[in-house]
Structure formats: C-alpha cells, structure tokens
Amino acid sequence: MPRSIILAVAVLSLSQAPASAEEKMVVDMARLGCAELTKLGFQDFAGLTMWLSGYYNAGIRNTVIDLDQFALAAKTVKDHCAANPRATVMAAAERALKITMLRKR
C-alpha cells in the first residue's frame, strides 16, 4: 500500500476519534429542574450539590463543612426532588432543608 494512502487513512481515523475531554456541561442553577437532577450520574450530582452547599453557606458566611451533614443534606434534596420532579432544585433544597434566603429586589 502506498505511503500516502496509509497517511490519509491515519489522518481520517484520527479526525473521527472521540474528543478526549468530556462534554462541557453548563447549568443555570436557578432553572435546573428536579427531574434533571435525579437523572444525573454521581459525579455531576456531587458537583451540583457541592455548588449548592457553597452557595447557601456563603449566604450565612459559614466556612465550615461537616461531610456527614453534607451527605445527608444532598440525599434529602435528592429525595425531595424525586418526590417533586417539577420543582426547581434550588426550591427543593430550600424547602427540604428549611433554608430561608434573602432575595434581592
């Protein structure tokens, strides 16, 4: 087989290879629905619940995290979302964890 054909086949096969980076995920947390949260894999779920924890703890200027309480809170929110798939995740978190946030006007 001529070298130019081998090179062409190699280039074509490399261009068809899947991307090495995972698909980029951008989420508007104010609009994320519970139905979507309950379908996430562990890694994405963990990332989103960490964000929620940081968001709500920043609101009360809390810099301490209890990992057991965090895990329980994440499960509580996921269970609430499973029972209320039409709610937003942030509304579910606030209701399930009895969080009151001051809203900007």
What's residue 14's pLDDT?
A: 43
Average pLDDT over residues 60-70: 94
Kindly tell me if the per-residue pLDDT of 62 is higher than 60. yes
Kindly tell me if the per-residue pLDDT of 10 is higher than 50. no
- For residue 93, count CB atoms less than 10 angstroms from its CB and return exposed for 0-12, middle for 13-18, buried for 19 or more: buried
Could you tell me which of 97, 48, 50 has the C-alpha nearest to residue 77? 97
Q: Is 33 helix (H, G, I), strand (E, B) or coil?
A: strand
Distance CA 56, CA 51 (A): 9
pTM of the prediction? 0.71
Average pLDDT over residues 59-83: 94
Domain boundaries, the chain: 23-96
CB 56 within 8 A of CB 99: yes
What's residue 101's pLDDT?
A: 74
What are φ and ψ of residue 95, in 5° steps? -75, -50
Amino acid identity, residue 4? S
CB 53 within 8 A of CB 104: no
